[in-house]
Amino acid sequence: MNIKEEINRLFKEEYGKLISVLTKTFGASNIELAEDVVQEAMLEALKQWEEKGLPDNPVGWIYKVAKNKALNVVNREKHKRNYQSEIANHLQSQWTAAPMLDHIFSDKEIADDQLRMMFTCCHPKVSLDSQVALTLKTLCGFSIPEISKAFLTTEENIRKRLIRARKNIRDAEIPFEVPQGKALDKRLTAVLESLYLLFNEGYYPSKGNDIIRYELCEESIRLAEIIAASEVITKKSNVYALLALMVLNVSRFKSRLGPHDTIIDLENQARANWDQKLIQKGIVYLELATEQGEVSIYHILATISAHYCTAPDFDSIQWLDILNLYNHLMEIDNSPIIQLNRAIILAKVEDATFALQALDQIEDKSQLQSYLPYFTTRAELHFQNNELELAINVLKEALKITKRENIKHLINSKIDLYSENN
């Protein structure tokens, strides 16, 4: 591994940890300052390591440089900047600076600070789109181009979201802490929604030619596991349920991709390639999720995924049980996406005609007009009904809403197949 590759690896793995501990040092109103210090530490590492080679302990080296730079910043700007942090006050004294830095850079404090960082990023004063952008930037080390690619928007739009989020945090004087009482439950809901959105963007990217963005899924799971390990948060039912859902879905990733980066449907996936250790881990999380008697969208979706993962083969899947789970899910979330997924199961339990009727009954299809699975599902249902012309026409509509060449290749292959049978 060359020096730049090692820096990139460290940047991804340590960036969020350093940002979190430095945000606690400087105060939540100075997140951008924390980002600047980490960037400077990484650039210094790149410069010195290219000249002198890798140190024996690269992580320790980075942390030491970040500590020194934080100390210099506090002392240099103590009369110019409001840090809103008791830690910064300790760093202004030569007697308390060293022990305080050693304390805040300990493994436990860093994990706790990442938890605090999540709740800071997902404060209700910060809009949902800005919450996710700020989480990706500060906790996951994603660049602005990467974030803009992930969420189908321009780099300038992402910059504006980040600026707006930081300003909201400063103006509202949002504390760098995990809230307590009823506020904790509400904020935890926002944090989990943000992580679920992040995972979904990895599972089904909205832009680019990647079929799966593994790094987004991995970061979602990593951050959720920090929440699960927290001693501060006691109501973890939804946390475990979300982890179960994510881990069970990730267990099937190796069999989900086919030639030309096409998606292999569940029926044709090689179950031998499923990660059994991850499946068992997901089942354990699901069992933990049921201990407090709560039922959320994450519980139901995780249970559906468990049905898929634990069935001996495709023909053994209990489709009626899954349909009942979707019926229950629609009492919680009656969104068009959920109704679409239910229709797919309805085709297994009843037939394609029933499923098409269910799709026709969706009142608000506006969300589905740019959602590719809606078109591919509808086309497949028409094909099952031997309505080949309708199936081809739906796929031609699908071609208009995607710019991804590998997806176009797959759709055109389907059109050719349907045409041959027409």
**Other beta carbons less than 10 A from residue 330's beta carbon:** 15
| pLDDT for the residue numbered 79 | 47
Over residues 407-421, the pLDDT tens digits come to: 888 888 889 888 887
| pLDDT for the residue numbered 102 | 67
Across the range 287-305, mean pLDDT stands at 93
Over residues 168-216, the pLDDT tens digits come to: 998 888 888 888 888 888 889 888 988 888 888 777 665 554 556 777 8
Across the range 28-51, mean pLDDT stands at 87
End-to-end alpha carbon distance in the chain: 54
Give the lowest-confidence range in 61-75, 99-113, 197-211, 289-303.
197-211
Q: How many CA atoms lie within 13 A of 131 on its CB side?
A: 22
Say what percent of the chain tops pLDDT 70: 88
| Nearest to 166, CA basis, from 23, 40, 21, 16 | 23
CATH architecture for residues 112-208:
Orthogonal Bundle (1.10)
The ranges assigned to domains in the chain are 1-105, 112-208, 235-317, 326-422
* Helix, strand, coil percent values for the chain (each to nearest 5): 75, 0, 25
| Structure token pair of residue 405 | 């060449």
Look at the alpha carbons of 383, 388, 393, 398 in this order and tell me if their dihedral is positive or negative: positive
Question: Which CATH fold would you assign to the domain 326-422?
Answer: 1.25.40
| Nearest to 371, CA basis, from 204, 210, 157 | 204
| Structure token pair of residue 338 | 């959920």
| Structure token pair of residue 297 | 């969208």
3-state class (DSSP) for residue 143: coil
| Nearest to 22, CA basis, from 78, 83, 81, 82 | 83
What average pLDDT does the structure give for the chain? 85
Decide if pLDDT at 116 tops 50: yes
Decide if pLDDT at 24 tops 90: no
| pLDDT for the residue numbered 312 | 92
Cα 148 off chain centre by = 14
| Nearest to 265, CA basis, from 346, 360, 373, 417 | 373
Angle between helices 107-121 and 94-104 (to 10 degrees): 80
Q: pTM (2 decimals)?
A: 0.81
